[in-house]
Amino acid sequence: MLILNNKEMKKIFIIFFCIAIFSCQSQDKNKETIIKFINNIVLNSNYDSSDLEYYLDIDKETLEDKNKKDFFISLMDDNIIDIKQKIDKNELNYIILSNKEAIEKGITSNLIYNDYSKVYYVIVENKIITPIIIKNDKIVSFFYGLTKKENESRPMLLNN
């Protein structure tokens, strides 16, 4: 049986408290990045494609090769338009939920991913319109893969 004195208990409490605060700040920062992406790119019909680099994790090879970059931007535009239409249809009412928050609200996804702590969802009328995955303060995916199975979907990662 482990017995801790008050000083040891205080240290353990402070460590857990700091971990909890850091985790919440990270989640808030990720949500802020997503909201900025939606407001400055998705809902802005005149966005500059070079602004994508600020929000998205795009590999250098894609940025340096004109054909790859043009294809990439075309693919992004198609998905951005799709998200915009869904948000516009609901009079710009959307929320961002972490995977954990979505589960707590009974909103489920068939997304298959290895680190759900990085997964967020754009929700309109209690339905997921797109998953967004953040890694190192950049969006690495904001739409499902090009193929969906009936009971599972995999994200299309931008930098792979």
Q: Residue 77: count other Cβ atoms within 10 Å of its Cβ.
A: 13
| Extended strands (E) in the chain | 95-98, 119-124, 127-135, 138-141, 144-149, 152-155
Rounded to two decimals, the pTM is: 0.74
Total residues found in the chain within this entry? 160
pLDDT tens sequence for the chain (160 residues): 556 566 665 555 565 554 544 444 456 889 999 999 999 999 888 888 778 888 888 778 877 888 888 888 888 888 888 888 888 887 778 999 999 999 999 998 888 888 999 999 999 988 988 899 898 888 888 776 544 455 556 565 666 5
**SS3 call for 78:** helix
- What is the CB neighbour count within 10 angstroms for residue 102? 22
Name the DSSP class of 117: G
Q: Quick one: how many helices (H) and strands (E) in the chain?
A: 5, 6
CA atoms within 13 A on the CB side of 3: 0
The pair of structure tokens assigned to 51 is 């602004």
